[in-house]
Amino acid sequence: MECERCHQRPATVHLTEIINNTKKTIRLCENCARKIQAESFGQMPQMNLHSFLSSLLNNEFFGAAASPAQEDVSEKTRCSSCGITESMFIKQGLLGCGACYRSFSGRLEPVLRRIHGAARHTGKVPERSGGKARIINKIDNLKTRLREAISREEFEQAALLRDEIRGLENDLKKE
């Protein structure tokens, strides 16, 4: 598919804007996407994810306004691995490393629960492309359970698991 703006390069960026239940989609090449980003898409002001997270975290951590005492505490809380402070994290909307989750867990957990409904990522596969991946994961889980049943010498259970695996593998071949 070619860029809808320059009609010269392949479209690699797809922008979608929904306002009052009206959906507007435009497919652009990278160069045109950069130009449009500067101009902004439609009438909406440019908003990047980091700015959004930063404002969300600032409100979540401190409420509407941070007191000097709260800011002082956020400067002292620091990741032992990368050295990022809590206030740097709030300003940037980005953690520095994987260890930051442990360093800031007391403050992050309630935010993650509120945003995602849980503090632990369980993964998600889109409905339209996830059928095959879901079946493969289920087969892998069943094979693990099969090996465990065989090691415990529960052969009846193992036979049931084997049959279920074969059925899923046949479903997979049909897709």
DSSP the chain: -B-TTTSSSB--EEEEEEETTEEEEEEE-HHHHHHHHHH-STTSPP--HHHHHHHHHHHHHH-SS--HHHHHHHHH-B-TTT--BHHHHHHHS--SSTTHHHHTHHHHHHHHHHHHSSSS------HHHHHHHHHHHHHHHHHHHHHHHHHTT-HHHHHHHHHHHHHHHHHHHH-
Residue 64 pLDDT class (50, 70, 90 cuts): very low
More confident residue, 96 or 147: 147
Examine residue 3 and state whether it is found in any structural domain, yes or no: no
pLDDT at 70: 47
Q: Are residues 134 and 76 in the same domain?
A: no
Domain interval for residue 56: 50-116
pLDDT tens, residue by residue, 106-158: 877 877 777 777 777 666 666 565 677 788 888 999 999 999 999 999 999 99
Q: Are residues 39 and 59 in the same domain?
A: no
pLDDT tens, residue by residue, 39-63: 654 445 555 665 666 666 666 655 5
Q: Are residues 42 and 56 in the same domain?
A: no
Residue 1 pLDDT class (50, 70, 90 cuts): confident
Averaged pLDDT for residues 71-90: 75
Task: Give percent of the chain above pLDDT 90.
Answer: 22
Supply the pTM of this predicted model. 0.38
Examine residue 7 and state whether it is found in any structural domain, yes or no: no
Q: Are residues 30 and 56 in the same domain?
A: no
Q: Are residues 38 and 79 in the same domain?
A: no
More confident residue, 133 or 160: 160
Quote the number of domains for the chain. 3
pLDDT at 148: 94
Examine residue 38 and state whether it is found in any structural domain, yes or no: yes
pLDDT at 88: 82
Q: Are residues 107 and 56 in the same domain?
A: yes
